[in-house]
């Protein structure tokens, strides 16, 4: 039983790194996946009977390599190219300075391959979770509310596109790195966001996706320590995740930031997140003077100010509003404008915030009328607030958010009467 538990942990922790090494060596996604799966299956049979080897990862790496070579030998026999392929196989087995320890660079190559711009964003997310995260097709499909056959086909098509288009298994050069890194960061953050605020279903939070995104963020920072936005993203995810246990009550209902029990926040995660923000800002205070900061770092700086406020009343809304103005300059999207309006409302007055909301166009987005309703409620304009809550309820799809809006609507209707 101990071997099986250890193997399950190894699978989750080492799958992506081992797979990256096999892909680098053999240049074939499908072959690498089949060989690594066969190695883990062999471990499931052999380790309980013979004991766990002294270096389990090395054993898995060597076994997977030999499984891949066996598959290639069978291919070679079918294709009747004995002499040429035998020489190729011998060179493969002899290559690499340290064959038992896949290069860290392989993981970096794999991240950029999974997030190649030739692939759609859903395909990038699925392939990243399958290869680097080691999640099963069923786990990914369940997390994103996609039928298993649909997700399986998505993975098949993505790997076929990589193969047929000859997409290189490499880190892009300096000229393309910034653009490609943006896609990598976006995929990791999308995975985190789907875990942090689930799009559909009864559960608001999917912890497993949050943890996987943070793990990928740590991996990226370890591989690219000089990339400030990678640190900013890691800090942002850690700071948000630090509040996870207080975001819902025992019944699974939403608890707003201002009402959360701050003594239950994960201080270790907050300290780590703030440290990443400070490194991303190169030691400067997280405020609007940090003009060189990227959007993830600015968002992380905002999250740090929330996390470090001893109470909701002591939140530094002026600095947060200034940071949102900076973020809006970097990403002038309606959603950023919405968050900026809330911060300005808290810093400069609720009426000012309401005026800013009137300038935002977000059709079909329930948080715009929900935000307008909240400001109207705070102003005591309960009748108008009720109308906005009803509009938000007509747009919301997440069960916990729906229950929250229904409670607010009942509250303002009671106060209006």
H, E, C per residue of 191-255: HHHHHHCCCCCCCCCCHHHHHHHHHHHHHHHHHCCCCHHHHHHHHHHHHHHCCHHHCECCCCCEC
* 83 pLDDT more than 80: no
* 219 pLDDT more than 80: yes
- CA 87, distance to chain mean position in Å, is 42
pLDDT of residue 101: 46
pLDDT digits (tens, 9 = 90+) for 150-161: 999 999 999 999
pLDDT of residue 121: 86
- Judge residue 15's burial from the number of C-beta atoms within 10 Å of its C-beta, 0-12 exposed, 13-18 middle, 19 or more buried: buried
Poorest-confidence range of 163-172, 292-301, 382-391? 163-172
pLDDT-derived band at 147 (thresholds 50, 70, 90) equals confident
CA distances to 69, 151, 299, 407 from 139, in Å: 30, 10, 29, 33
pLDDT of residue 384: 96
Cβ distance 236 to 299 under 8 Å? yes
pLDDT of residue 98: 46
In 3D, which of 216, 235, 347, 246 has the Cα closest to residue 295? 235
In 3D, which of 384, 333, 323 has the Cα closest to residue 362? 333
Cβ distance 16 to 110 under 8 Å? yes
Between CA 190 and CA 34 the distance in angstroms is 28
Cβ distance 350 to 384 under 8 Å? no
Confidence (pTM): 0.74
φ, ψ dihedrals at 240, nearest 5° = -70, -45
357 Cβ contact partners less than 8 Å away, ≥ 6 residues apart: 338, 341, 368, 371, 372, 375
Place of tokens 């497993």: 208
Cβ distance 253 to 314 under 8 Å? no
pLDDT of residue 290: 42
pLDDT of residue 81: 40
In 3D, which of 237, 41, 208, 67 has the Cα closest to residue 138? 208
Poorest-confidence range of 71-75, 161-165, 219-223, 367-371? 71-75
φ, ψ dihedrals at 201, nearest 5° = 90, -175
Between CA 378 and CA 393 the distance in angstroms is 19
pLDDT-derived band at 276 (thresholds 50, 70, 90) equals very high
Poorest-confidence range of 100-109, 123-132, 309-318? 100-109
pLDDT of residue 5: 47
CA distances to 122, 244, 402 from 249, in Å: 32, 11, 15
Cβ distance 45 to 82 under 8 Å? no
Poorest-confidence range of 58-67, 153-162, 203-212, 240-249? 203-212
């Amino acid at each position: 039983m101990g071997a099986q538990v250890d193997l399950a942990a190894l699978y989750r922790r080492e799958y992506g790194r081992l797979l990256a090494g096999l892909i680098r060596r053999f240049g074939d996604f499908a072959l690498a996946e089949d060989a690594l799966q066969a190695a883990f299956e062999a471990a499931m049979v052999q380790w309980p009977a013979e004991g766990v080897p002294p270096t389990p990862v090395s054993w898995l790496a060597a076994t997977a390599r030999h499984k891949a070579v066996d598959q290639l030998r069978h291919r070679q026999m079918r294709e009747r190219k004995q002499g040429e392929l035998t020489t190729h196989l011998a060179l493969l087995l002899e290559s690499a300075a340290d064959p038992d320890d896949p290069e860290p660079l392989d993981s970096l190559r794999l991240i950029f391959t999974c997030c190649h711009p030739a692939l759609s964003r859903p395909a990038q997310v699925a392939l990243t979770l399958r290869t680097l995260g080691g999640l099963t097709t069923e786990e990914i499909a369940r997390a994103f509310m996609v039928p298993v056959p649909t997700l399986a086909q998505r993975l098949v098509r993505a790997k076929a596109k990589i193969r047929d288009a000859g997409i290189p298994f490499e880190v892009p050069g300096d000229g393309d790195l910034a653009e490609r890194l943006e896609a990598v960061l976006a995929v990791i953050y999308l995975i985190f966001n789907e875990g942090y605020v689930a799009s559909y279903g009864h559960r608001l939070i999917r912890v497993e996706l949050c943890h996987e995104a943070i793990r990928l963020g740590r991996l990226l920072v370890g591989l690219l320590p000089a990339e400030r936005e990678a640190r900013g993203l890691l800090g942002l995810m850690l700071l948000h995740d630090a509040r996870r246990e207080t975001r819902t009550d025992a019944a699974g209902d939403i608890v707003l930031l201002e009402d959360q029990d701050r003594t239950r926040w994960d201080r270790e995660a907050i300290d780590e997140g703030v440290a990443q923000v400070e490194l991303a800002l190169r030691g400067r205070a997280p405020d609007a003077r940090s003009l060189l900061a990227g959007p993830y770092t600015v968002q992380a700086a905002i999250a740090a100010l929330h996390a470090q406020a001893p109470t909701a009343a002591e939140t530094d809304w002026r600095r947060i509003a200034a940071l949102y103005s900076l973020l809006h300059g970097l990403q002038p999207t309606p959603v950023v404008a919405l968050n900026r309006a809330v911060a300005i409302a808290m810093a400069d007055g609720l009426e000012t915030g309401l005026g800013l909301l009137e300038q935002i166009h977000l059709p079909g987005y329930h948080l715009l009328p929900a935000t307008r309703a909240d400001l109207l409620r705070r102003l005591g304009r309960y009748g108008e607030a009720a109308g906005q809550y009803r509009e938000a309820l007509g747009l919301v799809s997440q069960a916990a958010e729906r229950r929250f809006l229904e409670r607010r609507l009942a509250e303002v209707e009671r106060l209006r009467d």
